[in-house]
Structure 1
Amino acid sequence: MKLGTIILAAGDSSRMGGEPKQLLTYKGQSLIRRTTESALALQDGPVVVVLGAHRARIVPELTGLPVTIIDNPSWSTGQASSLKTGLAALYLTHKDIDAVLVLHIDQPLVSLGLLLHMLEVRKDEGKGIVACRYGTQVGVPALFDRDYIDELLQLAGDKGLQWVIVRHRDDCSEVPFEAGAIDLNFKRDVEQFQQAQMQAQ
């Protein structure tokens, strides 16, 4: 299977006072670098990183990595535009991909092991979507068969991946990932996460 990966990292972190969460560190690495290296470690195909706000500060974190960096000038309109930008970059250059993996950079506990497990679930269960479940939510990281690319390209505004997942629950395998609920959207999320890491050391 040839897998294409899209990393959505275009937001301006407005809910964190504008300090780019892409550059927050976990275990000595920025979240953008950590997420990108996990995607590359799958060794299954191209990796596209979608940037927007704070591009100049984030690009140096990707130095030396074999990824395609694409700019989304419309990042402020919502996540759907970044997804479509990434899909376009991926699909225009790699029409032979079999599936698309979508990652966010603000889930620090996404690991290579989780991503490999998702690929195994896809292989074993044969569903067109593999998504992660945390709490009552089913979402990213999420894996979509190429048959869903056209539908993903129809998303607009803040209508995101979950909308497609919910519409096709009968074709979706769910992977438990309670740590996915750790989503660094606000300053207090970061503070709580950092405190928990210090206590765990």
Structure 2
Amino acid sequence: MEPLGLLLAAGGGRRLGNRPKALLPYRGRPMIEHALGVLRAGGCARVRVVLGAAAAEVLRTAELGDAEVLVNEDWASGMGSSLRLGLTDVDADGVLVGLVDTPGVTPEAVARVLKSGADLAAASYAGERGHPVWIGARYLAEARAGAVGDAGARALLRTHAGELRLVECGDVATPNDVDTPEQFAALSQLHHQGRGELRDKPPG
């Protein structure tokens, strides 16, 4: 079975002035389109996306192609509810989890994590764990059960730290997310300068 790419794109952007991250303009289009394109170009032939805040507007304005779309009505409770929904009824060898607000993640980083050969893997940046994260089939039920609040897959990765393979991607991608107006402004400035990545804070 082919791996499933899972894009979490439900956040309402509270620290961005309640601007849903999926709809942030990036390279002239909604950021969600870029994130989906990265997963596809990196090797995820099948992609599932979880929407939440402003889902109707995202569906109306963004080109999502053949992505399977799920709408998380409980998106305000945190990322965990979106991950739980996204990991429901998965028919795949595993799931490659990406976030809509990490535009510095590249297809090369996605491909490296997919090709790691591990049951549990994550991109790392200067040795620090980041995204995307690969969750093999044997861990999916546990990941879903542990996805609460804003933790996402953190409990799973902590419990199985000994099995987690870190795949260094710092030479081909950057891990930084877009959480604040200042970070979004910095990203926009980099784009105007012909660069599409954000390096204004260390990975974490």
TM-score range, shorter chain: 0.7 to 0.9
**Which among 180, 183, 187 is matched to residue 189 of structure 1?**
183
CA contact (8 A) 2:10 2:72 kept: yes
C-alpha distance in 2 between matches for 1:186 and 1:131: 24
Give the superposition deviation at 1:62.
Answer: 4.2
Query: What residue in structure 2 maps to residue 5 of structure 1?
Result: 5
In structure 1, what residue type is equivalent to 2:166? E
Q: 1:200 to 1:172 in 2, by over 3 A?
A: same
Specify which structure has the higher proportion of helix: 1
Give the superposition deviation at 1:168.
Answer: 1.3
In structure 1, what residue type is equivalent to 2:37? E
Query: What residue in structure 2 maps to residue 55 of structure 1?
Result: 55
In structure 2, what residue type is equivalent to 1:26? Y
CA contact (8 A) 1:138 1:162 kept: no
% same residue: 28
C-alpha distance in 1 between matches for 2:32 and 2:152: 20
C-alpha distance in 1 between matches for 2:175 and 2:84: 24
C-alpha distance in 2 between matches for 1:5 and 1:64: 13
Give the superposition deviation at 1:30.
Answer: 2.2
The runs of at least 4 aligned residues of structure 1 exceeding 6 Å deviation read none
Q: 1:17 to 1:64 in 2, by over 3 A?
A: closer
Structure 2, unaligned runs of 5 or more: 196-204
Query: What residue in structure 1 maps to residue 71 of structure 2?
Result: 71
Query: What residue in structure 2 maps to residue 150 of structure 1?
Result: 141
Query: What residue in structure 2 maps to residue 107 of structure 1?
Result: 102
3-state SS in 2 of match to 1:73: coil
C-alpha distance in 2 between matches for 1:64 and 1:160: 23
3-state SS in 2 of match to 1:169: coil
3-state SS in 1 of match to 2:116: helix
CA contact (8 A) 2:102 2:178 kept: yes
Trace 1:104-143 onto structure 2 (pairs within 5 A). Answer: 104-122=99-117, 127-134=118-125, 137-143=128-134
3-state SS in 2 of match to 1:148: helix
Query: 1:22-52, CA deviations, whole angstroms, 9 ceiling, x for partnerless residues?
Result: 1223333321011112223355443111011
Equivalent residues, number: 192
CA contact (8 A) 1:11 1:75 kept: yes
C-alpha distance in 1 between matches for 2:165 and 2:127: 15
Structure 1, unaligned runs of 5 or more: none
CA contact (8 A) 2:6 2:49 kept: yes
C-alpha distance in 2 between matches for 1:63 and 1:140: 23
